[in-house]
Amino acid sequence: MCEVSRVVIFTSILLFLGVEESCSKNILFFFPISTYSHRIPVWPLVEDMVAKGHNVTFVMPYPPKEPNPKVTEFAPKEMVKYVLDNEEGPVAVKMRSEGVSVIDSQWFVLTDWGLEMCKLFIESPDTQEWMKNNHFDLVVIDGLYNDCGLGLAYKYNAPHITFVTSALFMWHGDSYGIAGEHSWLPDMQYHYPQAMTFMQRFWNVYNPIYWALEREYYYLPKLTEILRKGLNIPDLPPLREIERNVSLVLMNSHFSEEFARSLPPLVVPVGGMHIKETNKPLPKNIEDFIAKGGSKGFVYISFGSAVQLANSPPEILAAFLGAVKRVDINFIWKWDAEIPKDMPKNVFMQKWMPQQDILAHPKIKGFVTHSGLMSIQEAVYNGVPLVSMPVFAEQDYNAERIHAGKYGIRLEITTVTEDQLVDAISKIVYDPIYKQRMLEKSKRFRDRPMKPVETAVWWVEYVLRQGDTSFLKPLGIHQNWFIRRSLDVYFFAFTILAVLLIIRRQKKIPRH
Ligand SMILES: *[C@@H]1O[C@H](CO)[C@@H](O)[C@H](O)[C@H]1NC(C)=O
Ligand SMILES: *[C@@H]1O[C@H](CO)[C@@H](O)[C@H](O)[C@H]1NC(C)=O
């Protein structure tokens, strides 16, 4: 409709203004139940949508580091206070010391967190006031426990899009009726190697069923109750129904970096939107430090914003400090605390680092990382080999791919020794095979018909143009978990077979 009306543009400036107005939509990005890092992959889409004239509101308790004056930010006071009181990054390494399975089980805790945060959000007087004064034409919802936003989509009678900040989570196959590939695609929570043993396949097949049932019978009904009360819509349909009403799923992942998946047209991979194509020169202090290293180059160490290495157990820190003294190369280290006194001359530490500009620097030789997805995507884009030390969330899943694809070396952070670190860093810096594999990966990652953010914008506007996009969805979205897996058919066939075998056996028994 917008396109046709544009003809009118030439006839009257007044009408032109009117036309633009009607093309511009009020879009809500609902990302309150998350960490700051969830803002990063979706932000380029937000900025491009406002550049196209749409009116965007972004909901998140973590304020943007570089705000866009055209984007309206909203977060209720209670929520901002809650996240300030509960920053728990440093706990992560300590928790991992109790075992990787302790970290994997953190996924189970998320359910109650999602419920609690939705209650906090929706019952806040700020939110109640905000809801009264706004209307939205489209709601984009963070795919990790922000299902609270489904209530808002219903309230405003607006279509909704799910934005998944990584590859699909364990339950998304069942949420959207996508055929399962559980016998060969490793589950994100259990991050098995690609060649799974029978027992690993067992858990890999079982886990999505667990999540589908947990959501259908525990999480979503509870959330429905919270929203019925908070939105004051007593006859709000069950959220499972609103969830099925999804118009599109954008996924921050791409087959060149992850796995080939059998995705329906509903799911559009846009992995790597946040990557900058042109890089700024580095700040003078960093550039001077790199120049001092001459042709030796440098290695970058960063554990992202959620993991604070400075707060990890002393033996881990000792291993790192010992290793950087022994490898004859410069280190640029994102360090979020006071700088230790006995730092060797080959180490440059600072709280904030222009990470993408550093990874794009021609003298970078390697990257020691916590294996967060966005760091991995940036490293792949720039062809920088990795030492991968996962800590929590989807990081083990990413580290497994790095290990299997041999474009980096995986180490276990809780037991890492100085020797292991020296060995791994030396390998990725001096053995050219790692760089070579990374460059191949980089070439594949960059080779696409459109930039990922252009793809995302096109699909979001497709939803606005089409209105009803139910034709994108697998018909299985309406089936339950066992029919979707054809378990009833197998069960029926197996029963018939068993009955036939029994009858045959009985006939064979001679009568006396
Ligand atoms: C844009 O969105 C903000 C926040 O929802 C709202 O206050 C404002 O009225 C909207 N502007 C237009 C032109 O719709
Ligand atoms: C599905 O979405 C449409 C608008 O996109 C809305 O009119 C309808 O009420 C929604 N149904 C449910 C169950 O959410």
Same fold for the pair 25-274+463-476 and 284-446: yes
d(CA 432, CA 474): 45
CA-proximal residue: ligand 1, atom 12 (nearest): 55
- Residue 434, CA distances (Å) to 98, 426, 438 in order: 31, 11, 6
pLDDT band at residue 450, thresholds of 50, 70 and 90?
very high
Fold of 25-274+463-476: Rossmann fold (3.40.50)
Determine the atom of ligand 2 nearest the C-alpha atom of 150: 14
pLDDT band at 2 (very low <50, low <70, confident <90, very high): low
Residue 386's pLDDT is: 98
Q: Is a pLDDT exceeding 70 seen at residue 18? A: no
Task: Give the DSSP H/E element, type plus range, for residue 501.
Answer: helix 487-508
pLDDT digits (tens, 9 = 90+) for 38-62: 999 999 999 999 999 999 999 999 9
- How far apart CA 177 and CA 184 sit, in angstroms, is 18
- Determine which residue's CA is closest to atom 14 belonging to ligand 2: 242
Residue to mutate (ligand 2; options 137, 154, 156; most atoms within 8 A of CB): 154
Sequence spans of domains, the chain: 25-274+463-476, 284-446, 480-508
pLDDT of the residue at 102: 86
Token reading at 129: 């006031």
Task: Kindly report, residue by residue over 57-104, the tens digit of the pLDDT.
Answer: 999 999 999 999 999 999 999 999 998 887 765 567 888 888 888 888
- The pLDDT, as a whole number, for residue 95 is 84
Out of 3.30.450.40, 3.30.465.10, 3.40.50.2000, 3.40.50.2020, select the CATH number for domain 284-446.
3.40.50.2000
Is residue 12's pLDDT more than 70?
no
Say whether pLDDT at 9 is over 60. no
Cα 398 to ligand 2 centroid, rounded to whole Å: 36
Ligand 1 — pocket residues by CB below 6 A?
A: 26, 55, 57, 72, 134
* Residues of the chain above pLDDT 70, percent: 94
User: C-alpha angle 445/446/448, rounded to 5°?
Assistant: 95
CA-to-CA distance for 57 and 70, rounded, in angstroms?
9
* Ligand 2 centre distance from Cα of residue 120 (Å): 25
Kindly state the average pLDDT of the residues 495-508.
92
Mutate to test the pocket of ligand 2, among 242, 248, 465 (most ligand atoms within 8 A of CB): 242
Q: Determine if residue 411 is left, alpha or beta; phi over 0 gives left, psi from -120 to 50 gives alpha, anything else beta.
A: beta
Sheet of 330-334, strand order: 347-350, 330-334, 298-302, 364-369, 386-388, 408-410
Atom of ligand 1 nearest to the CA of 28: 5
